Amino acid sequence: NNAGYALSCVFESATSEQIQRQFDTNVFGLMHVTRAFLPHFRARRSGRFVNISSIGGLTTTPLASLYHASKWAVEGFSEALRYELNPLGIEVKLVEPGRTQTDFFGRSQERVPVAPDSDYSPTIERIRAALSQAWDPAKLSSAETIAEIIYQAATDGSPRIRYVAGADAVERYQHRLQHGDEASYERMRQQLLG
């Protein structure tokens, strides 16, 4: 159950239409697919939803508040849905990929411009410069690696809910779990803003 793109902007610059489109795609699309399959799964008393979230549903980066909000919604929806569906023999799993060798940061990203004289401009420029250096293609997980983890989630028969996928995603999530929210925030702030 995979749909997604990233709206890259400061929240204040996003239009209502852009916000709606981010949630229509990343959240409501996934919900509509889930609703369409539920009668069939209930009739069989079996089935498995593998919802593709993102490491962005567990940790955050700047200029992506709306993307993160949508992926955190997928996380909450999927976790809560498990309670409803498990007694019916239906499983719900989440895969949280990190940076992957796909066109996600090309055609699957919408950047909202901000006026050069905006209060946000200096911060945006610093963040985008830092991010462009951080997205070294050699450090991205292959699409095949992520596909293997999705396959594992779909077939391993375990009660596990989360499959954090990709070395960078595992490292970011482990850091947050081990060091806490504030330390994770500060680490990201230092990496991108100095």
CA distance 48 to 39: 13
Catalytic residue among 8, 67, 70, 184: 67
Element (H, E) at 153: helix 143-155
Describe the chain by its helix, strand, coil percentages, rounded to 5.
Answer: 60, 15, 25
CA distance 146 to 152: 10
Catalytic residue among 8, 70, 71, 93: 71
Per the listing, tokens 């830092």 go with 130
Q: Is 93 a catalytic residue?
A: no
Per the listing, tokens 């009668």 go with 39
Question: Is 1 exposed, middle or buried, given 0-12, 13-18 or 19+ CB atoms closer than 10 A?
Answer: buried
Catalytic residue among 8, 53, 141, 184: 53
Query: Any idea which residues carry the catalytic annotation?
Result: 53, 67, 71
